[in-house]
């Protein structure tokens, strides 16, 4: 039992320390970008989830379709994404990242993760070799968990 708790606690403490850092970098970068939080969220959602409809984006963001339609305008004008008719159901629009949009998301991710470079350098080669298997396992299980829980991202629970 204490073993179990220890593992969870160390995991939590490490997460908190990492989050503390990454959150602030994220907020800062967000401000500088001139984009709203919902707009950033939209770009990341499209990056991870692929092309999406206005309705599903609104569902994911927890705001109305109207709000999404409006925030998309400036993103399109900025050349970060495209809005095209869905040939299967012409009521819908297919919202999709452009190459510039993808590049912006990747740049943002890299910037947010830049401090990991310093962290990696804080380990000797032998330490790295020792830690690597554990890290791989952590990553794998996290990805499995994310997949299993599915679209956990939705903020609204409509039906």
Partner DNA sequence: GCATATATTTAAGCCCGTTTAACTATTAAG
Partner DNA sequence: CTTAATAGTTAAACGGGCTTAAATATATGC
Number of other residues whose CB lies within 10 A of the CB of residue 40: 17
Does 1 interact with a copy of itself (rule: CB under 8 A)? no
Q: How far apart are CA 128 and CA 150, in angstroms?
A: 32
Of 145, 92, 115, which is closest to residue 29 (Cα–Cα)?
Answer: 115
Give whole-number Cα distances, 10 to 7, 15, 105, 118, 121, in Å. 5, 8, 30, 21, 21
Taking CB within 5 to 8 Å according to partner kind, which of DNA, a copy of itself, none is near residue 117? a copy of itself
Q: How far apart are CA 144 and CA 106, in angstroms?
A: 22
Q: Which is nearer to a copy of itself, 58 or 93 (CB)?
A: 58
Q: Which is nearer to a copy of itself, 84 or 116 (CB)?
A: 116
Site string for DNA, 71-110 (x = CB under 7 A): xxx---------x--x--xxxxx-----------------
Q: Are 84 and 96 in contact (CB under 8 A)?
A: yes
Of 86, 75, 103, 77, which is closest to residue 51 (Cα–Cα)?
Answer: 86
Q: Taking the complex as a whole, how short is the minimal distance between the CB of residue 107 and a copy of itself, in angstroms? A: 14
What letter does residue 52 receive in the DSSP assignment? B
Does 132 interact with a copy of itself (rule: CB under 8 A)? yes
Taking CB within 5 to 8 Å according to partner kind, which of a copy of itself, DNA, none is near residue 72? DNA
Give the residues lining the site for a copy of itself (CB under 8 A): 3-4, 6-8, 10-24, 26-28, 31, 37, 41, 44, 48, 62, 109, 112-113, 115-120, 122-123, 125, 127-139, 141-146, 149, 152-153, 155
Give the residues lining the site for DNA (CB under 7 A): 35-38, 53-56, 61-73, 83, 86, 89-93
């Amino acid at each position: 039992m204490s073993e179990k708790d220890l593992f969870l606690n160390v995991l939590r403490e490490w997460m908190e320390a990492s989050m503390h850092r990454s959150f602030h970098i994220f907020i800062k970068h967000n401000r500088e970008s001139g984009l709203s939080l919902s707009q950033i969220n939209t770009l990341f959602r499209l990056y991870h989830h692929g092309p999406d409809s206005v309705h599903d984006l609104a569902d994911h963001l927890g705001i109305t379709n109207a709000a999404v339609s409006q925030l998309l305008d400036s993103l399109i004008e900025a050349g970060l994404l495209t809005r095209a008719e869905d040939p299967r159901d012409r009521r819908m629009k297919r919202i999709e990242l452009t190459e510039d949009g993808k590049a912006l998301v990747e740049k943002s991710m890299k910037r947010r993760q830049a401090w990991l470079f310093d962290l990696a350098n804080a380990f000797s080669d032998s330490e790295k070799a020792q830690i690597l298997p554990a890290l791989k396992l952590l990553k794998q299980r996290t990805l499995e968990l994310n997949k299993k829980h599915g679209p956990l991202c939705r903020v609204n629970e409509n039906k």
